[in-house]
Amino acid sequence: MSFSTLPNIGMGTFRLKGNDAREAVKSALSLGYRHIDTAQMYDNEAEVGDGITSSGIPRREIFLTTKVWQDQLHADDLIHSLHDSLARLKTDHVDLALIHWPSPDDEVPMAEYLGALRDAQREGLAKHIGISNFTCAQMDQAVKILGQDAILTNQVEVHPFLANRKVVEHAQKLGITVTGYMPLAVGKVMEDDTLQQIGQAHNATPAQIAIAWVAARGVVPIPSSTRPTHQKANLDALNIRLSDEEIRAIDQLDRGERIADPDFAPAWD
């Protein structure tokens, strides 16, 4: 199986450690997930690799993403770090390698680290390449450096309280798929009245409604969960069809509430 585009939902592994990470990946794959997302910074690549190996699902049927951390952005470091990631993941390639964050204050020039990422792709370390947490201006710059169609995705925070509309629309205009992390706003969606009401109408949880809304915007959600029942519910959310009226009601929840906002983040749109 060869993936030319991202599978329409993924299993995120941020904050999952040790055996939890191992079991969560194995369980997600057994339920039908085929897209697993990790990163060097999550410190769980080895466990994610174990989960994949022990799942019994052939590696070629799994779309695996990892991300290069910002202390590895110099060209030589980047290539070495990806080799290390592959060793931990117990595979000879990832399906997608992302730059986790743009270099803070452009300490490493974008042309250097994106060029190195392209070299890694040419060496077969990654089938596809992409970016994460890039602003509209940074996406434009990245497209200028790598050319149209080189960047598979920009992975950014997207949930009902942070629609991230400007970035999503700009990426889509550039032909870049958006992957939405934290689609459940670290559980906050469960407490929202609007999402609860819409959920009741669909016999679904607020979490499922949030995922359905993200997917309806053409964004690939990557929810994270260790519980098989939640993993299955998140997968089933893709079958929910929200009405235009329901989508508009959820659109109203956008309050620019950004959860992932470290001090090295770019100047957000």
The residue segments making up the domain with residue 119 are 11-183
- Output the pLDDT for position 2: 54
Instruction: Answer yes or no: is 147 within a domain.
Output: yes
Q: Which distant-in-sequence residues (6+ apart) come within 8 Å of 259 by Cβ?
A: 157, 162, 182, 185, 186
Instruction: Answer yes or no: is 108 within a domain.
Output: yes
Instruction: Answer yes or no: is 98 within a domain.
Output: yes
How confident is the chain (269 residues) per 10-residue block, as mean pLDDT?
80 97 98 98 98 97 98 98 98 98 97 98 98 98 96 98 98 97 98 98 98 98 96 98 98 98 97
Number of structural domains in the chain = 1
CATH number (domain holding residue 101): 3.20.20.100
d(CA 79, CA 107) in angstroms, rounded, equals 18
Q: Among 33, 42, 113, 181, which one carries the catalytic annotation?
A: 42
Alpha helices of 5-74 — where are they, by DSSP H?
18-31, 45-55
Instruction: Answer yes or no: is 79 within a domain.
Output: yes
Instruction: Answer yes or no: is 189 within a domain.
Output: no
- Output the pLDDT for position 3: 63
Instruction: Answer yes or no: is 88 within a domain.
Output: yes
Is 181 one of the catalytic residues? no
Instruction: Answer yes or no: is 154 within a domain.
Output: yes
Element (H, E) at 99: strand 94-99
Instruction: Answer yes or no: is 152 within a domain.
Output: yes
- Output the pLDDT for position 5: 82
